[in-house]
Structure 1
C-alpha cells in the first residue's frame, strides 16, 4: 500500500511538470507495477486493494454529494431528469447498437450498452475538483446526469443479472429492481426530510469525532446500499447530500479533502492493476471504433444538456468532455461477463476501451475550449474550459 501511494505520487509529480492530469498517471502507476507488466510487481493480486479502492470511490462520491445541495436538486429536478435521460438514451442506445454491430452475441450487446453508456462517477468527480469547476454553472447538470445514471445503473444491473446468469425469471428481475428502487426512494426521502435530525445527531465541535461520524455514516450507508442492489457510490452520495446541507457541512467538506485525495489515488491505482496491456492488440480496432462512437454521442449529449439549461458552447463543451471517461462500472461489467462465460474478447475490449477514455477524458476536459470553438455558437473563450471571466478567475484558484 505504501509503495502504491509513493508510485502514484511520483508519477503525478512528474506529470504535473508537463501539465498532465493526475488520474491517468495514477492508472499508469497501477499498470506498470501490477502483475501484467514485467519488472517490479508491487501488488500481485488486484483484489488485495479491493477494500481500499472501494473506500476511495465512496469518499469521492460522498464529496460530490456534499457539493450538490438539496435546493439544487429540488429546483432543477425536471431539467436534471431531461438531461440525464437524453444522455442515457444517446449513449446506452449507441452502445447497444454498437454491440449488435460487432456480432458477438445478444448478451454481449446488452453488456456493451452499459459499458459505452455510463460515465465514471469517480473520474468525473476528480476532474471537476482538479480543474476547479465545482462552482461552475454547468457543473449542476453534470452532477444531475451522474445521479440519473446511478439510478439507471441500479435498475440496469438488476435486469442484467438474471440474463447473464441464464435465469429465466422475470419475477426475480422485477423483485430485484423493485428492491433497489425502493431503497433509492428511502434514501431520497431521508435526504429531503431528515436533514435537520441528521444535522443534530452529527453536530460536534470536536473535529476528531466529526470525522469518525461522517466517515462511519458514509461507509455504512454505502454498504447497506450495495446489499439492496444499489451502487455503494450512490449511497455515499446521498449521505453527502444530507450532511452538506447541515450546519456542519462546511467543516465536513474541509475535513474530508485529505481522505478523498489519498484513497481516490488508491482507487485509480487499483484500476490500473486490473488492466493487462498484452490483451489490448487483439481488440484494437473495436476499441478505437467504440471510442469514436462515445466521442460523438457525448458531444451530442452535451449540446442537448446545454440547450435544456440555456447554456452556450463553452458549458456544452465542458459537459461533453467531463462526462467522457468510463471506469469502475465498466470493470464491474467485465467481471460479470467473465463469470457468465461470454465472448472471450469482451474483457480485453472493456479494459482497452476504459483505459483509453480514462486517459482521454481528463485530458479532453482540461482542453474543452478547443471543442467549444467548433460547436454551434462557439467563440474564443476567456479561459480554458471557462464560460465567462468569473469562471476563468475561479479556475485559476488553487484546488484544495
Structure 2
C-alpha cells in the first residue's frame, strides 16, 4: 500500500509541476499532461525509489482519471440552461447530423484511399466521427467560453454525437464480435438511450421545485456528500443503459442547472474538476507508448488534417444554420475537432476483434495529434477567424 501511495503521489507531483509550467506559459495544460504521460508509462525506467512506469498504480491513476471526466462533464452541464438547449432542438439535430455524417463519409473515403480493408475502414470512420467530450469541456472551461452564444449548440452536438456513438458501437459489436445485434434489439437500445436523455431534460424542466427542496441542506459536508454520491451513481447507472458515463454526468449537471443551488454546487465542484481533470489527461498519455507510433505517422497526419478541415466546415454550417455569427460558427468547428477517449473506445473494439495491428498505432498518433493540436487551435481561434475573414470577406458590407 505504501508503494502505491508513493507512486500515485509521484504522478501527482509531476502533474503539478507540468501544470505550473503551462500556467507560466499561459497555455492549456492538456498537451503538456498528455506528453508527460507519454514520456512515462511501461517503457520508462525505474530510478532508485522512483518507478516511472507506474506499473503498480496504473489502474488507480486510470480510475482517478475517469473521475476527472465525470467532474468535467458534470460542471459543463451545470453551466447551461436546459430551456435554451431545448429551444435549439432543430438546430442541434441539423448541426449534429452535418457534423457526424460529414466526418463519417470523409472517414470512409479516407480509409478506402489509404488501402484499409472494409472493417478497418468502418472502424476508422467511426473513430473520426466522435469528438472527446472531456477535452471539449476542458477547452471551453480553460478559454472561459461556457457563456458564449455558440456553446449551447456545441453541447447539443456532443449529445447528438453520443447517440451516434451508441448506435455505431451496437452495430459494429454485433458485426465484429459475433452475436449480431438484431434490428429490433438495436432500435430498443437506441430508444432507451434517447428516453433516458429526455428524462433528464424533463426533470430539469418540471422537477426543479422538488430538487430545490431536496438540496436545501444547511451542512456543507452533507451537501457535498449528497451531490457527489448522486453524480457517481447516475454516471454508473447510465453506463448500464449504454449511455456513456461522461454523458450521464453531463445530463445530471443539466438537471441541476435550473436549481437555485447551482452556484453552490459549482463552487464545490471546481477544485475537484481541476484536480481530477488533470489526472485524466495524464493517464490518457500514460497509455500511449511512443515506440509503437512510427509506422502510422503519415497516415494519421493525413487523417488528422481531414478531421480539422471537415470539423471547421461542418461547424461553420451548423453555426450559420443556427443564426450565429461567422466568428461563433468558427469557434464551433475549432472546438469540436479534438479527439480522445471515445475515439479510443471505438478503436479498441476493432483491436479486440483482431483487426490489423496498424489500427492501434494509427489510433495513438491520430488521437495524440488532435488532443494536442485541437486545444491549441481553439485557443488561437480569434487569429484563425481573422485570417479566414480576410480571405472570404465575411464582414464586408
Common fold: TM-score over 0.5: yes
2:235 aligned with 1:212, yes or no?
Answer: no
Contact 1:191 1:239 in 2 (8 A): no
Distance change (3 Å), C-alpha of 1:341 and 1:47: farther
Aligned with 1:346 (options 352, 356, 359): 359
CA contact (8 A) 1:3 1:42 kept: no
The match for 1:232 among 229, 241, 245 is: 245
Does 1:69 find its partner at 2:89?
Answer: no
Q: Which residue of 2 aligns with 1:259?
A: 272
SS of residue paired to 1:197: helix
1:103 paired residue number: 115
SS in 2 for 1:341: coil
User: Residues of 2 paired with 1:167 and 1:103: CA distance?
Assistant: 28
Structure 1 residues 115-130: aligned runs within 5 Å:
115-130=127-142
- Hey, what does 1:5 align to over in structure 2? 12
Asked whether the 8 Å contact 1:50–1:270 carries over to 2, the reply is: yes
Where structure 1 has 5 or more consecutive residues not aligned to the other structure, the ranges are 382-386, 388-400
**Aligned residue in 2 for 1:391:** none
TM-score (structure 2 length as normaliser): 0.90
Give SS of 1:311's match.
Answer: coil
Q: Is residue 162–residue 173 contact of structure 1 (8 Å, CA) maintained in 2?
A: no
CA distance in 2, matches of 1:163, 1:176: 16
Where do 1:274-289 residues align within 5 Å? 274-289=287-302
* Match runs of 1:1-400 below 5 Å: 1-38=8-45, 40-44=51-55, 46-171=58-183, 172-376=185-389
How far does the alpha carbon of each residue in 1:129-149 deviate from its partner, in whole angstroms, 9 at most, with x for none?
A: 111111111222111211211
Aligned residue for 2:5?
Answer: none
Change (3 A) 1:11 1:175: same
- Give how far 1:357 is off: 0.6
Structure 2 CA distance for aligned equivalents of residues 89 and 64 of structure 1: 25
Residues 312, 179 of structure 1: alpha-carbon distance in 2 compared, 3 angstrom cutoff: closer
Q: Is the 8 A contact 1:158 1:229 kept in 2?
A: no
1:126: how far off? 0.6
Cα deviation, 1:106-158, whole Å, max 9, x if unaligned, reads: 22122112211111111111111111111111222111211211222222222
Stretch moving more, 200-209 or 298-307: 200-209
Higher mean alpha-carbon deviation, 97-106 vs 3-12, is at 97-106
State the Cα RMSD in Å: 2.2
SS of 1:375's partner is helix
Q: CA shift at 1:305, angstroms?
A: 2.0
Name the SS of the counterpart of 1:16 in structure 2: helix
Q: Which runs of 4+ in 1 moved over 4 A?
A: 376-381
Larger deviation: 80-89 or 118-127? 80-89
CA distance in 2, matches of 1:38, 1:293: 37
User: Do the aligned residues in 2 keep the contact of 1:159 with 1:174 (CA within 8 Å)?
Assistant: no
Kindly indicate whether the alpha-carbon contact (under 8 Å) linking 1:153 and 1:231 is maintained by their aligned counterparts in 2.
no
Deviates most, 79-88 or 14-23: 14-23
In the alignment, is the contact (CA less than 8 A) between 1:317 and 1:368 conserved in 2?
Answer: yes
Cα deviation, residue 362, structure 1: 0.8
**1:7-63 deviation line (CA, Å, top 9, x unaligned):** 111112123333331111111221122113446525226433232222111111111
CA–CA distance in structure 2, aligned partners of residues 138 and 178 of structure 1: 28
- Partners of 1:198 and 1:317 in 2: how far apart? 37
Distance 1:189 1:16 in 2: 40
| Aligned residues between the structures | 382
> Per-residue deviation at 1:188?
3.6
